[in-house]
Amino acid sequence: MKTEAQIEIVSSLSEVDAAAWDELAGPQPFVRHAFLHALETSGCVGGDTGWLPRHLLLKRDGALVGALPLYLRDDSYGEFVFDFAWADAYARAGGQYYPKLLTAIPFTPVPGKRLLAHSDDDRFFLIDAALAFARQLGVSSWHCLFPLEAEARLLEARGLMPRQSVQFQWGNAGYASFDAFLATMSHDKRKKIKQERRRVRDAGVSFVHRVGAQINEADWHFFFACYQRTYRTHHSPPYMNLDFFLNIGHRLRDHLLLVIGYMAGEPISVALNFFDGEHLYGRYWGATQFVSGLHFETCYYQALEFAIARGIQVFEGGAQGEHKLARGLLPTATTSFHWLADAEFARAVGHFLSRETHGMAQYVDELNESSPFRAA
C-alpha cells in the first residue's frame, strides 16, 4: 500500500539530489539533472531570462518518486512550439496570457520524458499536481512540450489538448557503412550527396570527432565563438553562454560529440551533438568561413558516420528544414499538450488545433511523397 504523497515546488535543482532525479529521468542527456542544473547555475534560466524554475517534486516518506520539469514563463521564446498568436488573441479579448506554466527542456525541442516517474499512477499524480498549481497561481495555461508517446495518452486523458508538429529523423537500418546507407537512396539524391561531400574534400577540409574527455577547453572556446556567429547571422542573441557549455562539458562529457572541420591545420567549422545508447541529437553548429557543402557535412554526414560506427539507431536532426529530407532524414510527428484555464478561449483554440492537425497531416503526406529513398 502506498504511503501518502507530498508535493513540493522548488525554484532550483540545487535543492534536489542529482542521483534521485536521474534515476527517474533515465539516460537521455537533456532531462538529466546535470543539463537542467547547468542552465540554472550559468544564468541561462532564472533571474530576468523569462524562465523561472518551479520544478514539481512528488515524494513518499521523504523519497523522490516523481518529478516534473516546470517553468514560469513571461514570454514564449526558446520553446519551438509557437503560441504567440494565442497570446495576441487572448490579449485582444482582454485576457493576460503571461505568465504561463511550461514543462519543457529550455531551448531544446527534443522529444523525451517529461513525467518523471515509474508508474502511471504517479504520472497522473504529477499531471494533477501541475494543474492544481496552475489554478493556484491563476496563470492562463500549462503547456507540456514533446513528451513521450506513453505520456501523451495520460496528458490527453486529463483533458490537455494535443498539438501536432514535425521533426526530421534518420533511422539506422543496420547500415555497415555510409556507402551502404547511400545505396538505399534514389540515384539523384545519392549523386547530390556525393557531390556535396566531394566539394568539401576538394576544398581541403578534414574532420575529427572528439568525444567526452577528448574535448578540451580550447575546443569549447572555438565552438562557442562559432555558435555565437550562427546566432548573429540570424540576428538573434544566443540562448546559452560559455559557462553552460563548459559545465556540461565536464558533467555530461560522456554524452557529447564535437565534430570539428579543419582546413590547413586550423578549425573552420564545428557541430555539437549529444548522444545516449540509442539516439544521436544534432544541436548546434557554426563556421568561420563559407565552403560549399560545409554545413551539411559538419552537421549531418559526419553525424551519420558516427551513428553508423557506433550502432546508434536514430539521429534526430531537429525541427524545420525540408533540406534534411533530401539527405535521408524523414518527417516524424511530435506532439505537445496544452491546458487553458479560460473555457471559452480553450474551445476557440481547440477548433484551431483541429484545422491545424488536418493541415499538418497533409504536409507530412506531401513530404513522404518526396522520399529520398529508392522505391522498395
pLDDT at 1: 54
Give the CA radius of gyration of the chain.
Answer: 22
The domain in which residue 62 lies consists of 5-165+335-369
At residue 371, the 3 state secondary structure works out as coil
Do 10 and 159 belong to one domain? yes
Grid cell at residue 3 = 504511503
pLDDT of residue 290: 97
Q: Do 190 and 305 belong to one domain?
A: yes
Query: Do 40 and 139 belong to one domain?
Result: yes
* Per-residue pLDDT at 215: 98
Is residue 188 a part of any domain in this protein? Answer: yes
pLDDT for 2 equals 61
Number of continuous H segments (helices) and E segments (strands) in the chain: 12, 15
44 and 143 assigned to the same domain: yes
Side by side, the strands of the sheet bearing 5-10 are 5-10, 55-60, 63-68, 116-117
| pLDDT on residue 322 | 74
Q: In the structure grid, which three cell numbers stand for residue 203, read together?
A: 576544398
Pair (93, 134) in one structural domain: yes
In the predicted model, residues of the chain with pLDDT beneath 70 are 1-2, 319, 376
9 and 144 housed in the same domain: yes
Q: Is 271 domain-assigned?
A: yes
pLDDT tens digit string along 38-82?
Answer: 999 999 999 999 999 999 999 999 999 999 999 999 999 999 999
136/177 same-domain check: no
Does the residue 217 lie in any domain?
A: yes
In-domain check, residue 320: no
Cis peptide leading into residue 106 (ω within 30°): no
Task: Answer yes or no: are the C-beta atoms of 75 and 84 closer than 8 Å.
Answer: no
* Residue 73 included in any domain: yes
Residue 34: how many other CB atoms lie within 10 Å: 19
307 and 210 belong to one structural domain: yes
In the chain, at which residue ranges do the beta strands (DSSP E only) sit?
5-10, 51-53, 55-60, 63-68, 71-73, 100-103, 116-117, 141-145, 161-171, 205-211, 256-263, 266-275, 279-287, 314-319, 330-340
- Inter-residue contact 343 to 135 (CB < 8 Å): no
| CATH number of the domain where residue 225 is located | 3.40.630.30
Q: Report pLDDT for 323.
A: 87
Please check whether residues 131 and 184 belong to one and the same domain. no
pLDDT of residue 376: 66
Q: What is the pLDDT of residue 171?
A: 97
Domain tally, the chain: 2
In a domain, 329, yes or no: no
Task: Say yes or no: 123 and 223 in one domain.
Answer: no
Q: Shortest CA distance to 74 belongs to which of 95, 51, 92?
A: 51
Residue 41 inside a domain? The answer is yes
Assess whether 156 and 232 both reside in one domain.
no
0.85 surpassed by pTM? yes
Q: What's residue 306's pLDDT? A: 98
Residue 325 is assigned to a structural domain of this protein? no
Rounded Cα distance between 314 and 273, Å, is 13
The C-alpha cell at 288 is: 568561420
Residues in the chain: 376
226 in the same domain as 90? no
